[in-house]
Chains A and B, each alone.
Chain A
Amino acid sequence: MADLILSGPISAPASRWRSALARGGARLWIGGVLVALLLLIALFAPVIAPHDPAEQDLMSAQLPPAFMRGGEAAFPLGTDSLGRCVLSRLMYSARTAVSVALIASLLAAIIGIALGLVAGAFGGVPDQSVSRLIDVWMAFPPVLLSIVLAAVIGAGLVSVIAAIVVVDWTRFARIIRAETQAQLARDYAAAAHVLGLTRAQALRLEILPNLVPLIVTLLAVEMGIAILVEVILSFVGISVTGDTASWGGMITEGRQIVYQAPWIMALPILAVIISVIGFNLLGDGLRAALDPVQRR
């Protein structure tokens, strides 16, 4: 076996990338395209949106989408009850969603990974304290905890981000803790110890790089979750305030006039579904592409 591996061509990084992409399959591609589309819309919303999202035109309120009877070409997806362009608001809401998702997931990841690594690597008192903390967190209904948090901090994007970070760091901490323990039990970790690396050095140089695929996957999934939490908090009425466009806010406004103009509620729901499916497929695809177990 050893001879076979040595005599064959040593796999170059390029082909490893290619085989990883192949393992990811259709999920990786579709998810990647959907997420890329979302990021592009968020980035270029000011350029591509047909109207200012806050621009009101009470003369043309609650217009249906252009392809429906009574629609106007100037408002491709119609207008809301204040006569604001639904398409433009959807695009600017993507901006809100993406900013929340990026910042909140990264912060939750940093906290969760740090605590998970420490708990997994050092055991004993640090592990006990982190594990008990996670126990307490898991006993909270997550939605209720984020609602309480957002209410405590007050309306605004910062409050939404804080609510997501405080609730969701456990997702990272639990999995990273378990994976760190698993990695430390492997031969290469023992070898690092024999080589004279300190625990902290081994963590940074050996363990953490091996956790990167897992972290990337977790991040993709968490971004989908963060988008949902923003929608939830808007729906409950404690997310971003008035002028900032957000899908959750649009759904809430749409619900009040759902019988007169169902599309105002349906379109942002569709946007949320597409984003969440995109992040989920991307996460699944990444897991298949990067998972060291499937690589073997």
Chain B
Amino acid sequence: MRWSAILKRLALIPPTLLGVGAIVFVLLRVVPGDPIAMMIPPGASPADIARLRALYGLDQPLLAQFVTWLGQVASGDFGRSISLRQQVFELVGARLPATLELAALAVALALMMGVAVAVVGSLLRGSRLEWLLDTANGFFLAIPDFLWALILLLGFGVLLPLLPISGRLDPQLAVAFRTHFYLIESLLTLRFDVAADLLRHMLLPSLALALPFAALVARLLKAQLAEAEDQDYAQIARTRGFSRTTILQREVFPNALIPTVALSGVQVTLLLGGTVLVERIFSYEGIGNMAIDAVINRDFPLIQGLILTFAVLFIALNLAVDLLVAVLDPRLRHG
């Protein structure tokens, strides 16, 4: 990707975020439920209600509210959550690491599974087993993450109770953390019992997120491997007497990787979006689960902050994938 293309992409980010913000803002203001009605004690006087509405700026005209909010957001102030009565920025900051750790584990699991399936599938090319593997792969691809979450919850949480199905950490493990990246912190501070418990809680939700993504990676990579294996350089390596595994490893794999990263990288945003429901199903304390609560509680500032967070993550991911492809592919480096 050329620098000018990157600059163009960067220039499109602010208007996109502005659009996202405007749509959410308008959408939320036509919600029939009143957030104030949910926080007042019974028997509050109309004057109290009016004062609360004024406190959250809900008595202003829509456009004035939007402009005020934009000004605040621009200065890093995302407002106060109505239902949790804390700064949105702090709330999101405390929950985002949980979601990022979960998504990162899911992507890691998916890459391992996807690459393994693609390589095995390539070695089985033309056999009956390949057909079986492809069919199974299609099945894993067709079922979305939240259905996997329900299936895993039923299978390994209820029928064969091997793993915890709720929360991020066993509450009996009373640990004080400095950061909100629990997994990374516990690994760095060598508290492996805590890390193991965190991983046990993360395994089912991250597997649910990983399975369809792994199937996608497997399908894309396998097709790319097949294509790369038919190229001249692979044929030449074969005539020089290298074994099929060596050729796959040394010649074919690196070349098949670039298009796979380009095609599957964008889909990581889908995985990230999937955390909303998967976290909900496993009562995992990330921003996805928080977002659903925020919608149910009509917590405008929190919903706005969370959706903007997701939007920033999505845009950043897309850009990162493009840059990664540019770094991996020497042909694109000089445009």
Contact = CB atoms under 8 A, between A and B. Distances in A.
Contacts of A133: 19
Interface residues of B, number: 48
Looking at chain A's contact residues, the main secondary structure is helix
Interface stretch (A35-43, A60-68, A102-110, A273-281): A273-281
B32 interface: yes
B139 to A, nearest CB: 7
A200 interface: no
Contact of A262 (B154, B291, B303): B154
Contacts of A140: 20, 23, 307, 310-311
A136 B307 CA distance: 12
Interface in A205-255: 224, 228, 232, 235-237, 251
A133 B23 CA distance: 11
B146 interface: yes
Main secondary structure of the interface of B (DSSP, over half): helix
Contacts of B17: 139
B143 A276 contact: yes
Given A141-B273, A144-B288, A235-B277, 12 more contacts: A140-B311, A141-B272, A148-B24, A148-B295, A151-B296, A237-B296, A258-B154, A265-B154, A269-B150, A276-B144, A277-B139, A277-B143
8 contacts: A136-B19, A140-B310, A143-B273, A144-B306, A148-B28, A236-B296, A277-B139, A277-B142
A136 B16 contact: yes
Interface of A: 132-133, 135-136, 138-145, 147-149, 151-152, 154, 224, 228, 232, 235-237, 251, 258-259, 262, 265-266, 269, 272-273, 276-277, 280-281, 284
Nearest to B21: A136
Nearest to B306: A144
A144 B310 contact: yes
Interface of B: 12, 15-17, 19-20, 23-24, 27-28, 30-33, 138-139, 142-144, 146-147, 150-151, 153-154, 158-159, 269, 272-274, 276-277, 280-281, 288, 291-292, 295-296, 298, 303, 306-307, 310-311, 314-315
Most buried by B among A132, A258, A259, A284: A258
Given A139-B314, A258-B154, A269-B151, A144 B15 contact: no
A265 B150 contact: yes
Nearest to A131: B12
A51 to B, nearest CB: 25
Contacts of B33: 151
Contacts of B27: 148-149, 152
A258 B28 CA distance: 34
Nearest to B26: A152
B110 to A, nearest CB: 18
Contacts of A236: 277, 280, 292, 295-296
Chain B CB count within 10 A is highest, among A151, A154, A228, for: A151
Given A136-B16, A147-B295, A228 B158 contact: no
Nearest to B24: A148
B320 to A, nearest CB: 15
A149 B20 CA distance: 14
